[in-house]
Homo-oligomer: A and B are copies of this chain.
Amino acid sequence: MIDLNDYTLEEWNSLLKLASDIRLNQRAYINRCEGRIMATLFYEPSTRTQMSFQAAMLRLGGQIIGFDNPVNSSVSKGETLMDTIRIVSGYSDVIVMRHPLEGSVKAASLYSRCPIVNAGDGGHLHPTQTLTDIFTLYNIKQRLGGMNIGVCGDLKYGRTVHSLIKAMTRFPGNRFYLISTPELAVPDYIKQIITSSGADCIEASSIESCIGDLDVLYMTRIQRERFATPEAYEKQKGVFVLDREKLKKAKSDLAILHPLPRVDEIEFAVDSDSRALYFKQAEFGMFARMALILKIIEDDLLEKKDDDSMPGGVHCMNARCITQQETYLPQLAHIDASGRKCCLYCDEELPPKPGIRV
């Protein structure tokens, strides 16, 4: 499971239904993964994600091995990712991997003898966060289409936001409100995904200006450093902070989500509002991960092979791509939806001819 978008809507539906059933009938699932082992290989610490996966596997009766920080471990000392994965996949039934480099989980999947789940590969993908978001909406709203969805914060670099938008464009009738500064607006390719799906896309410069229209408000943080100038920060910071005052204009069934951790973009006073669902969302995430693990282990929901993978012929030029570190990886490519030839690992466009790495 590298990318949620590799799956069909039927497969999503099946996952969401299973997650719902697990949530309502937990005791029926406590032995389903008995005797099975999940390896959690966290090449950068992410305690929250790791605990969510661990709780999910343990609640299915499975067990956990792994590490939470390779600095403290002997893994990655002079051993290739390829070798580590080959060894660990001999010990385990499923691997959950997080890594700071883009495309790393895809690369690992080439060598793994067991299914592998992407728990975040740098700024590239974090599909189980998106699965969490979708499952939360599916439960709260009883539908995934026909909604006005606001996304607020750093929309330029926000991996979870991009992923959520991509996912929600697969359902009819959604309208997207993109709430951000001009500097931190969504990349053009995301806007193209929205418009080519037929969905409406509205850019907004404040929460206040559109909150009354929203069914969903997905909050993320804008880091101070991301504003154009300190003056711009001082002037605008409040505009992207959700507080009780702004909530007065919102619908009574607005769903406020956040991938967490929250810093100061949602005032603490909002937490007691019944529309604040971000902690509930974290709990939904555990059930969504339980469903995913169970599907993978019981139904052989294997990673989708890129049948369209082809020789790349050139080095990927993305400095954050796993191919920069693991130089033995074969140069592979695929053609993306807009016809560009992209690195199979990190999905960045490949240069037309061999370039000089920077």
A79 cross-chain contacts in B, Cβ below 8 A:
260-263
> How far is A79 from B282 in the complex, measured between Cα atoms in Å?
14
A7 cross-chain contacts in B, Cβ below 8 A:
none
Binds B, one of A43-51, A171-179, A246-254: A43-51
A69 cross-chain contacts in B, Cβ below 8 A:
72-73
Candidates B59, B74, B279; contact of A35 at CB < 8 Å: B59
Binds B, one of A84-92, A123-131, A199-207, A293-301: A84-92
The smallest C-beta distance from A309 to any residue of chain B, in angstroms, reads 18
Q: In the complex the two chains form, is B37's CB within 8 Å of A30's CB?
A: no
A27 cross-chain contacts in B, Cβ below 8 A:
35
> How far is A235 from B262 in the complex, measured between Cα atoms in Å?
56
A317 within 8 A of B: no
Are A78 and B261 CB-contacts (below 8 A) given A47-B73, A51-B65, A90-B279? Answer: yes
Interface size of A in residues (CB-CB distance below 8 Å) = 53
> How far is A64 from B92 in the complex, measured between Cα atoms in Å?
16
> How far is A65 from B35 in the complex, measured between Cα atoms in Å?
18
> How far is A311 from B312 in the complex, measured between Cα atoms in Å?
67
The smallest C-beta distance from A52 to any residue of chain B, in angstroms, reads 6
A212 within 8 A of B: no
A34 within 8 A of B: yes
Q: In the complex the two chains form, is A55's CB within 8 Å of B35's CB?
A: no
> How far is A290 from B63 in the complex, measured between Cα atoms in Å?
15
A64 cross-chain contacts in B, Cβ below 8 A:
58
> How far is A59 from B37 in the complex, measured between Cα atoms in Å?
8
Candidates B39, B73, B83, B279; contact of A260 at CB < 8 Å: B83
A59 cross-chain contacts in B, Cβ below 8 A:
35, 37, 63
Candidates B51, B65, B72, B286; contact of A58 at CB < 8 Å: B65
A328 within 8 A of B: yes
> How far is A153 from B27 in the complex, measured between Cα atoms in Å?
50
> How far is A75 from B34 in the complex, measured between Cα atoms in Å?
29
A77 cross-chain contacts in B, Cβ below 8 A:
261
> How far is A54 from B2 in the complex, measured between Cα atoms in Å?
26
Q: Which of A266-299 contact B (CB under 8 A)?
A: 268, 279-280, 282-283, 286
A71 cross-chain contacts in B, Cβ below 8 A:
72
The smallest C-beta distance from A266 to any residue of chain B, in angstroms, reads 10
Q: In the complex the two chains form, is A52's CB within 8 Å of B262's CB?
A: no
Q: In the complex the two chains form, is B55's CB within 8 Å of A65's CB?
A: yes
A68 within 8 A of B: yes
20 additional A-B residue pairs with CB within 8 Å, beyond A39-B51, A55-B92: A30-B34, A30-B35, A35-B59, A45-B73, A45-B74, A47-B70, A47-B74, A48-B75, A51-B88, A52-B91, A68-B72, A72-B72, A77-B261, A78-B263, A79-B260, A79-B262, A83-B262, A87-B260, A91-B282, A268-B328
Which residues in A have some Cβ–Cβ distance to B below 8 Å?
Answer: 26-27, 30, 34-35, 37, 39, 45-48, 51-52, 54-55, 58-59, 61, 63-75, 77-79, 82-83, 86-88, 90-92, 260-263, 268, 279-280, 282-283, 286, 328
29 examples of A-B residue contacts, CB within 8 angstroms: A27-B35, A30-B34, A35-B61, A37-B55, A37-B59, A39-B51, A45-B72, A47-B74, A48-B87, A51-B66, A51-B88, A52-B91, A54-B65, A58-B64, A67-B68, A68-B72, A69-B72, A69-B73, A79-B262, A82-B268, A83-B260, A83-B279, A86-B282, A87-B260, A87-B282, A90-B283, A90-B286, A91-B283, A268-B328
